[in-house]
Structure 1
Amino acid sequence: MITQDTIVALATPSGAGAIAVIRISGKDAITICAPLFKSIHDKDLSVQKSHTIHLGHIIDGNRILDEVLVSIFKGTSSYTGEPTIEISCHGSTYIQQEIIQLLLRKGCRMANAGEFTLRSFINGKLDLSQAEAVADLIASDSEASHQIAMQQMRGGFSNEIQKLREELLNFASLIELELDFAEEDVEFADRTQFKSLISRIIDVLKRLIDSFAVGNVIKNGIPVAIVGEPNVGKSTLLNALLNEERAIVSDIAGTTRDTIEDEINIGGIGFRFIDTAGIRDTKDVVESIGIKKTFEKIEQAQVVIYLIDSYNLTTESLLEIKTEIGKIKNQHPQKPLIIVANKVDKLNDSQINVLTTEIENIHLLSAKKNIGIDDLQNKLLEFVNTGALRNNDTIVTNTRHYDALLKALEEIQKVQYGLDSGLSGDLMAIDIRQALYHFGEITGEITSDDLLGNIFANFCIGK
């Protein structure tokens, strides 16, 4: 799968811009580029020092293609761990293609998606979890997702896994050594220390596995469904949260007939708000489809906001609302539900007192007057455990890592059972090897071409 040829790709986004960067990597990168570069000071590119930048022109025979800056990275001192050239040219799409086509004619090959980072992994510049964090960093769209990706790319997660793996490997070696002296009935591995290590590994694995719940929502955003009866102000609330006129607002009940979604960033966390059709009995076919979608969105959401029109509330409608809230709680007992009373700017103190007495923990706001919106946003943040993020703890965001951690934990728990039951070393050695295997899957010490192909296919070309 991995070849040693020289690859080229545009490292900056495609299209016209002020500057474009063309990246060339491979053993012949400097040899191919040197004859195509004419320095303004007559420098020979092939003999210049690594990590230097040179001004000149890219030439195709007697034709000057562009004035450029060329950066040189020699030997293994580059992102990919192999000789690399980066050409900073003007951002014209014509110039970009002319230079790339020239390099292709001179012996380069167009890079595949993620091939520069793949070579960095193959050449030991990054382990596999760090390489995957590169893609997460590029895709990060909030402060929290950026912070997690940076921590993982710098080796925070892989260092923790590597340390556990090394300690387990040391004991595994002693267990394996005991098997060679089975007839002499000797123990090289201190069982008390081994039990302590296994307990510590289990604690760490459980912490990392639990962190995935937070990491997954930080990486992908938290879907929040806004539900309630027609004309209670759901669309107005969405517009207030987004601070723009995203949804159509009307006094006509049933205006929203389909779900409307948009994302905002609150406290560094991405939230995806879903404005749904009002829940009511209707004979309108189109509106009925919208209401059906509302219940589907409740299923998909991780947080539900149930909105009430507090101004037009009656004893009868209050009873119906409490019944509907009870149904949602019974159907989704683990799903956070925020009950919000809208239009409170129209209520007097007595009416507000009745409302807060009848419905426990109700949140008061006026979407139209922008009252209570900040408090609602703070309430939403309470559902995201950002303590680990603030403490710079390792947070797992990758489904592949999560799966490998679950499998490693299962094997380690088998080892713990074996220690407690006094099982022989040869039986425990099998489970230890499997745990080590799953640790290796995370960092890339154990890989296959298919796995690498699946991971790096999701990268952008040029990275």
Structure 2
Amino acid sequence: MILNDTIIALATPSGAGAIAVIRLSGPEAISICSKFFQSIHNKDLTKQKTHTILLGHIKDGNKTLDEVLVSVFKNPNSYTGEDVVEISCHGSVFIQQEILQLFLRNGCRMANAGEFTLRAFLNGKLDLSQAEAVADLIASDNEASHQIAMQQMRGGFSSEIAKLREELLNFASLIELELDFAEEDVEFADRTQFKALVDRIIFVLKRLIDSFSVGNVIKNGIPVAIVGEPNVGKSTLLNALLNEERAIVSDIAGTTRDTIEDEIVIGGMGFRFIDTAGIRDTKDVVESIGIKKTFEKIEQAQVVVYLFDAEKFITNSEKFIVEIERIKNKYPLKPLVIIANKVDKLSESDSKNLNTSIENLHLLSAKSGTGVEELKDKLLGFVNTGALRNNETIVTNSRHYDALQKAFEEVSKVKYGLESDLSGDLLAIDIRQALYHFGEITGEITSDDLLGNIFANFCIGK
């Protein structure tokens, strides 16, 4: 793993724009840039203080490539902990490539994916969970996922883990000390205090592990399956929710033969709506495959929206009530929103009768938009945002979740050992394993393979 060279990459998205930012990091970043940068006030770039911005030109011999702003960040007071230079140039793709190629010919290497953040981690500017939060922050597309990523990047999660690890490490040291004086039969670690600590660690770990179910759907969007018979308005409802013609709408039953997915943000929370094929008995092979996929999507969904035609309910209510009960029984743990669509075609008395026939029924007209906003509020009500409001730590990373599960298992073994009065040497084995899994989260314990897998998912300029 080469860390003593100078790397360069485009830090802004590729393509033309108003401006582009090219970032250099490494021991020669400032000196290499100074060879090709000419300040309009003839200032020497190598003699500037950290966090200085200079206006000037990038020149390749006598050829001026662009007028730029150059920002200087000297180690250790930079993102990577190394000398860093950021060149803000005009956003022409030609200019970007000319500057990049100039520096690549003169001592710089093109950065690998995530290499700037990798260097920040290795130089102690971020721990591993904070580094991973950088990627989550870049990928966040709603308020909730942004808030979680910001909290983790500021060290909320890692500081909680580090505190638990430190306390456990202190007791582990005392247990190890007892082993050195085994012949004297002395106890340095107060078993009562140790039991209290283990109980507290188990409590915190369980809370963090349980938060993953919420955090995962916040990060990836809450999947909502829209189901019902053919031609009840499922595609029309999806279009109304998205406020665009995303799904094909037709009077022909069975038009939607495959699932259609799209995302919207409601109240700062991402929702992934899935328009499914209508559920009915059919001999059409393609439609049958679509119906099979419908039930697969219901299994994957966090919330199920069951839609039926309000006019047809008036004439055949028993059929729909049986279908609603069937879905409730088949998916008892999934929140179910029951919607009577096309209520704009009903009389006022029929609407009232309909509302009393089914508990918690939502009346809606997807075509006119009546009741759509109320449906959004209802869906938002299913989301447990209490943890966000209370600024509690929420786990969204599957690697962290896996390490927490393993740490929980080892700490539970320690608890059992204490209750069973096991010897210190056996307790020490489980404590070491728990400490190992804590260290995996924050990066005290890493491998090149682990780092490679994590940072390979970053964009090049970060």
Q: Say whether the fold is shared (TM-score over 0.5).
A: yes
**What's the CA shift for 1:349?**
4.8
Deviation beyond 6 Å, 4+ runs, structure 1? none
Map of 2:431 onto structure 1: 432
Instruction: List runs of 5+ in structure 1 lacking aligned partners.
Output: none
Partner residue in 2 for 1:91: 91
Conservation of the 8 A alpha-carbon contact between 2:73 and 2:85:
yes
The two structures, once aligned, show a CA RMSD in angstroms of: 1.4
Tell me the residue number matched to 2:28. Answer: 28
Match of residue 216 from structure 1: 216
Cα distance in 1 for residues equivalent to 2:337 and 2:126:
43
8 Å CA contact retained: 2:314, 2:350: no
Secondary structure at the residue paired with 2:459?
Answer: coil
CA 1:389 to 1:49, structure 2 compared with 1: closer, same or farther past 3 Å? same
Residues 266-305 of structure 1: pairs in structure 2 closer than 5 A: 266-305=266-305
Map of 1:321 onto structure 2 = 320
Who is 2:11 aligned against? 11
Q: Distance in 1 between matches of 2:30 and 2:348?
A: 77
Question: What CA distance in whole angstroms lies between the structure 2 residues aligned with 1:285 and 1:374?
Answer: 37
**Counterpart for residue 457 of structure 2:** 458
1:398 aligns with 2:397: yes
Further displaced range: 378-387 or 194-203: 378-387
- 2:432 corresponds to which letter in structure 1? R
Tell me the CA shift for residue 363 of structure 1: 1.8
Shifted more, 361-370 versus 23-32: the winner is 361-370
The amino acid that maps onto 1:27 is P
Distance in 1, Cα, partners of 2:21 & 2:352: 63
TM-score, length basis structure 1: 0.97
Distance 1:81 1:34 in 2: 20
Q: Distance in 1 between matches of 2:221 and 2:24?
A: 35
**TM-score w.r.t. length of structure 2:** 0.97
Deviation, 1:276, is 1.4
Please give the alpha-carbon distance, in whole angstroms, between the structure 2 residues aligned to 1:232 and 1:266: 24
Alpha-carbon offset, residue 76 of structure 1 = 1.1
* Residue 314 of structure 1: how far off its partner (Å): 4.5
Could you tell me how far apart the structure 2 residues matched to 1:65 and 1:214 are? 50
Range with bigger deviation, 250-259 or 13-22: 250-259
Q: Does 1:389 align with 2:397?
A: no
- Residue 289 of structure 1 deviates from its aligned partner by 2.6
Q: Which moved more, 1:252-261 or 1:114-123?
A: 252-261
| Partner of residue 416, structure 1 | 415
Q: How far apart, CA to CA, are the structure 2 residues paired with 1:311 and 1:330?
A: 25
Per-residue CA deviations over 1:7-66 (Å, capped at 9, x if unaligned) read: 000000011111111000001111111111111111111111111001111111111111
In the alignment, which residue of structure 2 is the partner of 1:243?
243
The answer to whether the Cα contact below 8 Å between 2:112 and 2:460 also exists between their aligned partners in 1 is: yes
Deviations 1:387-437 (A, max 9, x none): 000111000000000000000000111111111111111111111111100
- Of the structure 1 ranges 361-370 and 399-408, higher mean CA displacement relative to structure 2 is found in 361-370
Secondary structure of the 2:366 match is coil
Q: How far apart, in 1, do the equivalents of 2:96 and 2:342 lie? A: 56
User: Aligned-pair distance for 1:334?
Assistant: 1.8
Deviation of 1:136 after TM superposition, in Å, equals 0.2
Residue 380 (structure 1) shift:
1.1
DSSP 3-state at the match of 1:311: helix
Give percent identity, aligned residues only: 80
Amino acid at match of 1:319: E
Counterpart residue type for residue 276 of structure 2: T
Q: How many pairs are equivalent? A: 462
Shift of 1:242: 1.1
